[in-house]
Amino acid sequence: PVSTKKYTKTAVAGRGRGLYPALEELKAGDEVKARGSGASSFLSPSRRTPAMIGCSFVVNRKFFGEIGLLDPGMDVYGGENIELGIKVWLCGGSMEVLPCSRVAHIERKKKPYNSNIGFYTKRNALRVAEVWMDDYKSHVYIAWNLPLENPGIDIGDVSERRALRKSLKCKNFQWYLDHVYPEMRRYNNTVAYGELRNNKAKDSNHTAILYPCHGWGPQLARYTKEGFLHLGALGTTTLLPDTRCLVDNSKSRLPQLLDCDKVKSSLYKRWNFIQNGAIMNKGTGRCLEVENRGLAGIDLILRSCTGQRWTIKNSIK
């Protein structure tokens, strides 16, 4: 803080579900006391990091220029730090956090661009995905609930950035996951994602979808090649909770939302689904349907199939 000029803890950055940093505090053990030195002397081992915040860093100027600086096609801010992190690792460099380094960032109190910052962060994230993430670019579209084709956001021309990557002979994104950020969750098995809608609720302008306990907005549904129907925001890394599975336990008429790994019967968490068709549990044969109870509201239930149809907003071919 400017008023006290106190330092705060350093963090190692991963990437959150929308391609923005998820910070992990360095543990006390990351600062190792120097053998034979006084109490105030410490060695400062570096910590590799997949990415970082973009406001304060030290970089070799020659190398920074060779890898194309920051992406000039990005607007305002957000995403440039992720692009830099991926690019540095894939193109021959490394990114590290030094716990004992002294770097200050004085943040302005009022930001003139705050009113529309969500748009810019989303747009910039898509530029990173299209240039650097190869077959994993779909993860960003899934996280932002955008279709892979015609997402409705003009990200500008990325041909020069792609040409730069090719000329530098940078590694592929799979290498980044294998060697730098193995904790990142993989969603390559996704078939469809987005809002889950039921045709019977259409006339009443209701979206049949389960909500988390906090009740914020529509959930993200994700249907996989294995037949799992996940509900909820994407997990950041394998170290944190991920989306849960929709389950028919064969006893209750109400569907359950459970940790996939803890469901004993594989069939109870697997569903048959095609766009504009029924969602039928493979173990019980019951369908996920909407029951309209008038003034009492709309319930999401499991019962014998009556022909109700479902769609998930986006599909991956």
- In this prediction, residue 189 has a pLDDT band, given cuts at 50, 70 and 90, of very high
Q: For the structural domain made of 11-179, what CATH number should be given?
A: 3.90.550.10
Lowest model confidence (mean pLDDT) among 34-38, 227-231, 237-241, 288-292: 34-38
DSSP string, 38-106: -TT-EE---EE-SB--SSS----HHHHHHTTSS-TT--SSSSHHHHHHHHHHHTT---EE-TT------
User: Residue 26, Cβ neighbours under 10 Å: how many?
Assistant: 17
Q: Tens digits of per-residue pLDDT, 13-40?
A: 555 545 554 444 444 344 333 334 444 4
**Residue 205 confidence (pLDDT):** 39
Give how far Cα 144 sits from Cα of 30, 119, 129, 181, Å.
34, 11, 12, 21
Structural domain boundaries in the chain: 11-179, 190-315
The angle that helices 117-132 and 80-90 make with each other, rounded to 10 degrees, is 20
Q: Tens digits of per-residue pLDDT, 72-123?
A: 999 988 899 999 999 999 999 999 988 777 777 777 777 777 678 888 999 9
Please determine, for residue 177, whether its predicted confidence score (pLDDT) is greater than 60. yes
59-98: b (≥16 Cβ within 10 Å) or e: eeeeeeeebbebbebbbbbbbbbbbbbbbbbbbebebebe
**Residue 34 confidence (pLDDT):** 34
**Residue 219 confidence (pLDDT):** 62
pLDDT-above-90 percentage for the chain: 49
pLDDT, mean over the chain? 81
Same CATH topology for 11-179 and 190-315: the answer is no
Instruction: Please give the model's pTM, rounded to 2 decimal places.
Output: 0.80
- In this prediction, residue 56 has a pLDDT band, given cuts at 50, 70 and 90, of confident
**Residue 317 confidence (pLDDT):** 80
Looking at mean pLDDT, say which of 20-29, 217-226, 259-268, 270-279 comes out highest. Answer: 270-279
Lowest model confidence (mean pLDDT) among 121-125, 260-264, 282-286, 292-296: 292-296
Helix (H) or strand (E) holding 117: helix 117-132
Please determine, for residue 264, whether its predicted confidence score (pLDDT) is greater than 50. yes
CA atoms within 13 A on the CB side of 224: 17
CATH of 190-315, one of 2.80.10.50, 3.30.70.260, 3.30.70.2610, 3.90.420.10: 2.80.10.50
